[in-house]
Amino acid sequence: AQSVSQHNHHVILSEAASLELGCNYSYGGTVNLFWYVQYPGQHLQLLLKYFSGDPLVKGIKGFEAEFIKSKFSFNLRKPSVQWSDTAEYFCAVNDYNTDKLIFGTGTRLQVFP
Amino acid sequence: NAGVTQTPKFQVLKTGQSMTLQCAQDMNHEYMSWYRQDPGMGLRLIHYSVGAGITDQGEVPNGYNVSRSTTEDFPLRLLSAAPSQTSVYFCASRARKGSDGYTFGSGTRLTVV
């Protein structure tokens, strides 16, 4: 069965610091990869996605992620975070054959001014 | 275009009661899923559907039933509510395999006492 691991459970940063959130998955077949963000009290919104092609994908609000197939990783990055990036971030992996979308446990990001 | 609509937004049940969480989408999406979100556990897949008349189990299906009689609706039924089912429930939909990521509803916060 596929699974998703997010190693950072809680990250605290100051504004302008760089961000990298780890995501690893276990599944040998074809996958689609996603990062979602959940702002306090809101539902999930798609940040970015990888289906095929260039393994470096850019999303909204200056976020990007790199798919490294050999490491089964899809880490999220942002060069300079803002206070408004305070939220919970979820990595998700979609089994292409069954279309099951499985989430990691999430990383809570707090950015202080 | 309302997207994914979930009702109710909040619900309190007594142990043993039954209820149905409603989910409707107006985007003609084929794929629909139900997730529950619990602190520290991320989102866990309960049931999903790849089209009308087709449903399958996710990671945590016990205690929940679903049906998909139309493309638009995907209700989640709790036949005999238990305190362990206290959670926030999200419904999500997606157009087709290989398309964009899922669109999420705003959630239903369920408390079972």
What is the secondary structure of chain A as a DSSP string?
A: --EEE---SEEEEETT--EEE--EEE--S-EEEEEEEE-TTS--EEEEEE-SS-SEEE-GGG-EEEEEGGGTEEEEEESS--GGG-EEEEEEEEETTT--EEE---EEEEEE-
Residues 42..81 of B with a Cβ closer than 8 Å to A: which? 42-45, 48, 50, 56, 58-59
Least confidently predicted of A3-17, A97-111, B7-21, B81-95? A97-111
Answer whether B43's CB lies under 8 Å from B35's CB.
yes
Q: Which residues of B touch A42 (CB under 8 A)?
A: 106
Q: Which pLDDT score is estimated for A30?
A: 82
Q: Which pLDDT score is estimated for A96?
A: 76
CB contact under 8 A, B40 and A105: yes
- Torsion over CA of B43, A83, B101 and A5, rounded to 10 degrees? -40
CB contact under 8 A, A105 and B41: yes
Answer whether B98's CB lies under 8 Å from B31's CB.
no
CB contact under 8 A, B31 and A34: no
Q: Which pLDDT score is estimated for A4?
A: 93
pLDDT tops 80 at residue A1: no
Please give the Cα distance from B31 to B29 (Å, whole number): 6
Q: How far is B92 from chain A (nearest CA, A)?
A: 10
Q: How confident is the model at residue B57 (pLDDT cuts 50, 70, 90)?
A: very high
Indicate if the alpha-carbon torsion angle A87, B105, B82, B15 is positive or negative: positive
Answer whether A48's CB lies under 8 Å from A41's CB.
no
- Residue of B43, B87, B93, B97 to mutate, testing the A interface (most A Cβ within 10 Å of its Cβ): B43
**Token couple for B11:** 């619900």
Q: Where are the beta strands (DSSP E) in chain B?
A: 4-7, 10-13, 19-25, 31-38, 42-51, 54-57, 64-66, 76-78, 87-94, 103-104, 108-112
Q: Which pLDDT score is estimated for A21?
A: 97
pLDDT tops 90 at residue B98: no
pLDDT tops 80 at residue A28: no
Mean pLDDT along residues A32-60: 93
User: What is the residue-averaged pLDDT of chain A?
Assistant: 92
Q: How confident is the model at residue B81 (pLDDT cuts 50, 70, 90)?
A: very high
Mean pLDDT along residues B54-67: 95
Beta bridge partner(s), residue A16: none
Q: How far is A85 from chain B (nearest CA, A)?
A: 18
Q: Which pLDDT score is estimated for A41?
A: 86
Q: How confident is the model at residue B1 (pLDDT cuts 50, 70, 90)?
A: low
Q: How far is A107 from chain B (nearest CA, A)?
A: 9
Q: Which pLDDT score is estimated for B99?
A: 64
What is the tens place of the pLDDT at every residue in A51-79? 889 999 999 999 999 999 999 999 999 99
Q: How confident is the model at residue A50 (pLDDT cuts 50, 70, 90)?
A: very high
Q: How far is B106 from chain A (nearest CA, A)?
A: 5
Tokens 């529950």 correspond to B36
Q: How many CB atoms lie within 10 A of CB A39?
A: 13
